[in-house]
Amino acid sequence: MHDISDSVVTTILFPSSATAVPGAWRRLKRNWSVRLGGGVLIFFALISLFAPWLGVVDPSWLDSGNINRVPGYSGSFALPSGENIARTFWMGTDGSGRDIYSRVLYGGRISLVLGISVAALSIVIGLTVGLAAGYVRWIDGIVMRVMDGLMAIPGILLALFLVALWRASLETVIAAITLTEIPRVARLVRSLVLSIREEPYVEAAISVGTSTSKLIWRHILPNAVAPLIVQATYVCAVAMIMESALSFLGVGLPLDRPTWGNIMAEGRASFNLFPHNVFIPGAFLALTVLSVNMLGDGLRDTLDPRFGRRGE
Amino acid sequence: MKSMIRFFVQRLLSAITVLMIVIVIVFMLIRLTGDPAAIVAGDSATTEQIQKIREGMGLERPLPTQFGIWFGALLHGDLGESFSSHESVARLIGDCLEPTLALALCTIFFAVIVAVPLGTIAGWRHGGWLDRTLMSFSTLGFSVPVFVLGYILIWLVSLKLGWLPVFGYERLSDGFVPFIRHLILPSFTLSLIYIALIARVTRAAVSEALIEDFVRTARAKGLSEWRVLIQHALANSAVPIVTVIGIGLTLLLGGVVVTERIYAIHGLGDLTVSAVLDRDFRVVQAVILLFSVTCVLMNLLVDLTYLIFDPRIRY
Amino acid sequence: MTHPVLQVDALSVSLPRGADRTKAVSDVSFAVRSGQLMCLVGESGSGKSMIAHTVMGLLPRNVRATSGRVLLTGEDILEGTPRRLRELRGQQMSMIFQEPMTALSPVMRCGRQIDELLVQHCNLSSGDRRKRVLKMLEHVRLPDAERIYSSYPHQLSGGQRQRIMIAMALILKPALLIADEPTTALDVTTQADILRLIRDLQRENNTAVLFITHDFGVVAEIADTVVVIKDGEVVESGLPSNVLSQPCHAYTRMLLAAVPGFKPRKLQLGSDARVKLHAKGLTRIFDSGGWLRQSRRVIAADAVDLEVYKGETLGIVGESGSGKSTVARLLSRLITPSGGEIELDSLNVTRLRGAAALEFRRKVQVVFQDPYRSLNPRRTVGAAISEGPINFGASQAKARERSAELMKLVQLSPNSLNRYPHEFSGGQRQRICIARALAVGPEVIIADEAVSALDVSVQEQILALFEEIQQRLHLTLIFITHDLRVAAQICNRVVVMQQGRVVEQGPATQIFQNPRHEYTRALLASAPGRDFEFGMKESHSIFEPR
pLDDT, one tens digit per residue, over A75-117 is 777 777 777 777 777 777 777 778 788 888 888 889 999 999 9
Contact between residue C483 and residue C404 where contact means Cβ atoms under 8 Å apart: no
Buried b / exposed e along C230-244 (16+ C-beta atoms within 10 A): bbbbbbbbeebeebb
> What percent of chain B is modeled with pLDDT above 90?
34
CB contact under 8 Å between B276 and A161, yes or no, is yes
Q: Is A154 on the interface with B (CB under 8 A)?
A: yes
Helix C188-205 / helix C518-526 crossing angle, nearest 10 deg: 50
DSSP-based three-state secondary structure for C153: helix
Residues linked to residue B88 through DSSP beta bridges, in sequence order: B81
What confidence score (pLDDT) does residue C111 get? 93
Neighbours of A23 (CB within 10 A): 14
- Beta strand C37-41 with A84-89 is unpaired
**Residues 132 through 191 of chain C touching chain B, CB cutoff 8 Å:** 152, 154-155, 165, 168
pLDDT 10s digits, C452-493: 888 888 999 999 999 999 989 999 999 999 988 899 888 999
What confidence score (pLDDT) does residue B76 get? 81
CB contact under 8 Å between A206 and C334, yes or no, is yes
Residue type, C534: F
What confidence score (pLDDT) does residue C546 get? 33
What confidence score (pLDDT) does residue C537 get? 44
- Cα-Cα-Cα-Cα dihedral sign, residues A88, A92, A96, A101: negative
Helix A100-135 / helix A221-249 crossing angle, nearest 10 deg: 140
**Chains with at least 3 CB pairs less than 8 angstroms from chain B:** A, C
What confidence score (pLDDT) does residue C101 get? 82
Reference C491, options C477, C501, C502, C472; nearest CA is C477
Triad C160, C53, B227: Cα angle to 5°: 70
* Of the partner residues B18, B208, B284, the one whose CB lies closest to the CB of residue A161: B284
Residues linked to residue C306 through DSSP beta bridges, in sequence order: C279
**Chain A, nearest residue to C376 by Cα:** A201
d(CA C379, CA A21): 10
* Of the partner residues C102, C109, C117, the one whose CB lies closest to the CB of residue B221: C117
Triad A195, A198, A200: Cα angle to 5°: 130
Minimum distance, in Å, between the CA of residue A124 and any CA atom of chain C: 22
What residue ranges of chain A have pLDDT lower than 70?
A: 1-24, 55, 304-312
Q: Model confidence at C289, in pLDDT bands (50, 70, 90)? A: low
pLDDT 10s digits, B218-273: 999 989 899 999 999 999 999 999 999 998 888 899 899 999 988 888 999 999 99
Task: Tell me what the mean pLDDT of segment B56-85 comes to.
Answer: 79
Buried b / exposed e along A95-129 (16+ C-beta atoms within 10 A): bebbbbbbbbbbbbbbbbebbbbbbebbbebbbeb
* Of the partner residues C61, C391, C420, the one whose CB lies closest to the CB of residue A209: C391
Reference C271, options C514, C513, C493, C520; nearest CA is C493
Does residue C519 surpass a pLDDT of 50? yes
Contact between residue A93 and residue A100 where contact means Cβ atoms under 8 Å apart: yes
d(CA A144, CA A134): 10
Q: Which residues of A touch B305 (CB under 8 A)?
A: none
What confidence score (pLDDT) does residue A309 get? 33
Minimum distance, in Å, between the CA of residue C71 and any CA atom of chain A: 25
Q: Which residues of C touch B6 (CB under 8 A)?
A: 292-294
Q: Which residues of A touch C422 (CB under 8 A)?
A: 21-23
* Of the partner residues A202, A209, A222, the one whose CB lies closest to the CB of residue C440: A209
Candidates C56, C85, C89, C107: best to mutate against B (most CBs of B within 10 A) is C107
**Chain A, nearest residue to B247 by Cα:** A5
Tally the residues of chain C.
546
Nearby residues of A275 by Cβ (< 8 Å), 6 or more positions away: A267, B151, B155
Residues linked to residue C209 through DSSP beta bridges, in sequence order: C37, C177
d(CA C171, CA C115): 10
Contact between residue A290 and residue A36 where contact means Cβ atoms under 8 Å apart: no
d(CA C344, CA C104): 46
Neighbours of C132 (CB within 10 A): 17
ipTM of the complex: 0.87
What confidence score (pLDDT) does residue C8 get? 92
pLDDT 10s digits, B180-209: 888 889 999 999 999 999 999 999 999 989
Q: Which residues of C touch B311 (CB under 8 A)?
A: 106-107, 109, 152, 154
What is the helix, strand, coil percentage profile of chain C, to 5? 40, 25, 35
Nearby residues of B6 by Cβ (< 8 Å), 6 or more positions away: C292, C293, C294
| DSSP 8-state class, residue C269 | P
d(CA A237, CA A285): 10
Does residue C540 surpass a pLDDT of 70? no
Q: Is C437 on the interface with A (CB under 8 A)?
A: yes
